[in-house]
Amino acid sequence: MEQHDGTVNAGRKGIAYDWQSLLAAAEAASLEHELAGLALAAHAAD
């Protein structure tokens, strides 16, 4: 049975990429956006 380490061959050229790092980057951007919104809301309430 094949073990998965978070990298997958994709595309016609079989270039390996790490999908977990792509997901982590997207989640970080989403959290940063949410945090900025909360900071603005807190500042506006002052």
Task: State how many domains the chain has.
Answer: 1
Q: Which domain holds residue 15?
A: 7-45
Tokens of 40: 């603005």
In a domain, 1, yes or no: no
pLDDT of residue 15: 64
In a domain, 2, yes or no: no
The model's pTM = 0.52
User: Which pLDDT tens digit goes with each residue over 1-46?
Assistant: 455 555 555 555 666 677 888 889 999 999 999 999 999 998 888 7
In a domain, 39, yes or no: yes
DSSP state of 11: T
In a domain, 29, yes or no: yes
Do the Cβ atoms of 16 and 7 come closer than 8 Å?
A: yes
In a domain, 13, yes or no: yes
Looking at this protein, which amino acid is placed at residue 22?
L
